[in-house]
Amino acid sequence: MSVTVLHPGSNTVVRGLATRVDVAARADAVSGAILGAVFPDRADDATFVATLSRCSQENVANVVAVLAGRLALADVDAQCACDFATLMARLGVPLAELERSYWVGVERLWQDWFDLCRTCSVEGKGELPDLLGGSTSLLFGYVDRVLAQVVRRYNSVTEEMSSTCEDRRRELVLRLLDGTQAEAGDAVEETLGYRMRATHVGLLFNSERRREVTRGLATLRAESGARAALLVQPDAGTWFGWLSYPDGVDPARLDGLRRVAAATGEPVAIGDPGRGLAGFLGSHQSARRTAELRATLRRAPSCLCARDLRLETFLLENPDSARRFVRDELGGLAAGTERAQRIRDTLLAWLAVGSQARAATELGVHENTVRLRIRVAGEELGTALTERRTELLVALRLCEALGPEAESAES
């Protein structure tokens, strides 16, 4: 049974008018206005945008519920708004910018509400002063209550970060990465709690789940025998991490690190090991370039390792040239048909393992099927496959990264 809350200044017409509000559309308009006016530099951060959208959806829905008499101001619990405040604090966004986002959102919502009230007045369903007077007080009363909750959460998270030096570590790491901090002496190491005079493996996590990322890094450190670990959050859905090894990183240790990282299930890219400050920066850059391949790889695993994808990383610096190479080498086998994909998968498995029998096992098909597809590929390419083994393998790996040709050929 619903209960109507009779707020001061509320009336039957306002409550009825509130039921005509398209919450989803108004929330999209509010989040779009905030993103454009306050956070334009974060428009490409999908996690940030999603968090802002959830916050806007909650706020608009709550405002409408208050206006409609379904929710008392005293009962407003802005959980998504507080989650957004937590994110702002962790990213180092000034409180003034967070507060400004609310006033930009209020302006956008109030303009829409004003237009609705004016239409209602023109239709003779109520006087404009009566429609706007009480509802304006309710809107600003809502903002006052929510901002109080938001500011408390923001200040709480900021104090926590300050007590653990998390904010200083993030700022210092970002300065090292952009070159404004050129040296990493004792003072830098003390602030970071991390020694630069070691071999480093850079990590890049794509996740908004702070607890899982932190736990995953701790697992990687323990299982790989790392002396220390460092983790900072540069944006809403990305985490930069490092592990340090005073005794270096050999291929066996890197393989073990990759296996453990894959087992955690968190999307992570592992950079090439490097020593000292240059290695700290270089390993991060290789992890970053590797992570960028996740969006293009057709079957990207949760763990991407720079060592495994050096060829793709290098050749995809010029995607147009890479696409031309794939087209020239594979011809019709670069098409987006199921048939072409089956043949490409077979050729890639065969060239990678060097045996038709092993390729059949890997693909889960009969060896005769592998043999038939290889023969068909040779006929279509018009050349002995073993004569251009290297070029063919490179083209297949690039096609796997880039995806097939958009203009699919008929099978």
Pairing between strand 303-305 and 228-235? Answer: unpaired
Indicate whether 299 pLDDT > 90.
Answer: no
Instruction: Please report which confidence band the pLDDT of residue 10 belongs to, taking 50, 70 and 90 as the band edges.
Output: low
Indicate whether 130 pLDDT > 90.
Answer: no
Instruction: Please report which confidence band the pLDDT of residue 55 belongs to, taking 50, 70 and 90 as the band edges.
Output: very high
SS3 assignment, position 200: strand
Q: What angle do CA 339, 344, 346 make, to 5 degrees?
A: 95
91-122 pLDDT tens trace: 999 999 999 999 999 999 999 989 988 888 88
- The answer for residues whose C-beta is within 8 angstroms of residue 339's C-beta and 6 or more apart is 411
Burial group, residue 212, by CB count within 10 angstroms (0-12, 13-18, 19+): middle
What is 26-79 written as a DSSP string? HHHHHHHHHHHHT-GGGTT-HHHHHHHHHHHHHHHHHHHHHHTTSS-GGG---H
With residue 233 as reference, give the H or E element that holds it. Answer: strand 228-235
CB atoms within 10 A of CB 198: 21
Q: What is the mean pLDDT of residues 6-32?
A: 82
Burial 271-303 (b: 16+ CB within 10 A, else e): bbbbbebebbbbbbebbbbbbebbeeeeebeeb
200-250 pLDDT tens trace: 999 999 988 888 999 999 999 999 999 999 999 998 989 999 999 999 999
Indicate whether 69 pLDDT > 60.
Answer: yes
Top-confidence residue, 205 or 16:
205
Residues above pLDDT 70, as percent of the chain:
95
Q: What angle do CA 95, 99, 105 make, to 5 degrees?
A: 145
What integer pLDDT is reported at residue 266 of this predicted model?
82
70-93 pLDDT tens trace: 888 889 988 999 999 999 999 999
Least confident of 24-33, 246-255, 300-309: 300-309
Indicate whether 8 pLDDT > 60.
Answer: no
SS3 assignment, position 144: helix
Residues above pLDDT 90, as percent of the chain:
45
State which amino acid sits at residue 313. T
Which residue in the block uniquely carries the two structure tokens 């000034």?
A: 94
Q: What is the mean pLDDT of residues 160-181?
A: 90
Instruction: Please report which confidence band the pLDDT of residue 361 belongs to, taking 50, 70 and 90 as the band edges.
Output: confident
Task: In whole angstroms, give the CA distance from residue 338 to residue 408.
Answer: 10
Instruction: Please report which confidence band the pLDDT of residue 411 belongs to, taking 50, 70 and 90 as the band edges.
Output: very low
Which of the listed ranges 27-31, 302-306, 387-391 does the model predict with the highest average pLDDT?
27-31
In this structure, what token pair is assigned to residue 362? Answer: 């890997």
CA dihedral sign, ordered 315, 399, 45, 77:
negative
What integer pLDDT is reported at residue 7 of this predicted model?
58
Looking at every residue in the chain, the average pLDDT score rounds to: 87
Top-confidence residue, 244 or 396:
244
Indicate whether 351 pLDDT > 60.
Answer: yes
What is 248-275 written as a DSSP string? ---HHHHHHHHHHHHHH-S-EEEPPPEE
